[in-house]
Amino acid sequence: MRHKVVIGDCTLYLGDCRAVLPTLKGGSAHAVVTDPPYGIVNKFGKHKGKPGRGTRTMQFGWDDASGVREAVREAVREAVREVDAAFVFTGFDTIGPVLEAMRESGLVPKPWVWVKTCPPPPLPGNWWPSGFETAIYAYRSGAWFGDDNPKRRNVFVGDSLRAGNGERNGHPTQKPLAMMLHLVGSIVPPAGTCLDPFMGSGTTGVACVRTGRKFIGIEKDPKYFKVACRRIAAEQKLATGNRQLATKNP
């Protein structure tokens, strides 16, 4: 299964990234920013809350897939093979595979943490709530870096998209747009191309359009691929309108 959609400077593929990545031309992207499955070994399942509070899903189908950690390692290794920089969210069980893939590609990896200002409460029987998520960023010598904040650090503090947040689009592991704008603006060169082989609902692509970057996204779930296409098309329409307005009113 493979389908290609072009929206402005964004090229989106419906398909398994392990099949699509080898078909891309070498040097087609400057940086990778992506959020692959975490391949969680522990089984958390679902937790039914108090009446009227819904059900929290802590385990998703992609975590149970056989060989998911090796699949993530394979995809990341192919994705970062020729880029200058990469940023990959990781779970506790995918830190090792992602780290190995980056080093095999000659990148220098370093840790990064997203601290959640209001983490969800722990499930019954668990101990501390999960108040952070991890990631690995990596680069080659001379790679472009756009964060000139003298107080910058490898920790991002911000809330997750909790129930009731208007930014939510139905994807269970959607990342906040403000965070993705920060990441894209920091490691993808202006007018450069960002690759996201685990596109999900397209938040990285939205961030690229908003900051003037080109984007290549790959997603194998048709449901979320449609969401990504819709969101990126809406952002592209807005960006085009803003450019036209600026031209009329210099």
pLDDT digits (tens, 9 = 90+) for 105-145: 999 999 999 999 988 777 777 788 889 999 999 999 999 99
Q: What pTM was computed for the model?
A: 0.89
Mean pLDDT score of the chain: 88
Which of 66-75, 81-90, 217-226 is least confident? Answer: 66-75
Residue 13, pLDDT > 80, answer: yes
Domains of the chain by residue range: 3-248
- What is the rounded CA–CA span in Å between residue 244 and residue 250? 10
Residue 185, pLDDT > 80, answer: yes
Residue 26, pLDDT > 80, answer: yes
Q: Which residue has the higher pLDDT, 71 or 189?
A: 189
| Residue pair 176/161 in contact by the 8 Å Cβ criterion | yes
Percent of the chain with pLDDT over 90: 67
Query: CA of 28: how far to CAs of 8, 32, 79, in Å?
Result: 16, 11, 10
Q: Give the right CATH number for 3-248 from 3.20.20.140, 1.20.1250.20, 3.30.499.10, 3.40.50.150.
A: 3.40.50.150
Reported as a pLDDT band with limits 50, 70 and 90, residue 241 is: confident
Query: CA of 72: how far to CAs of 87, 125, 242, in Å?
Result: 14, 30, 38
Which of 29-43, 92-106, 117-131 is least confident? Answer: 117-131
Rounded (5°) CA angle 182-36-86: 50
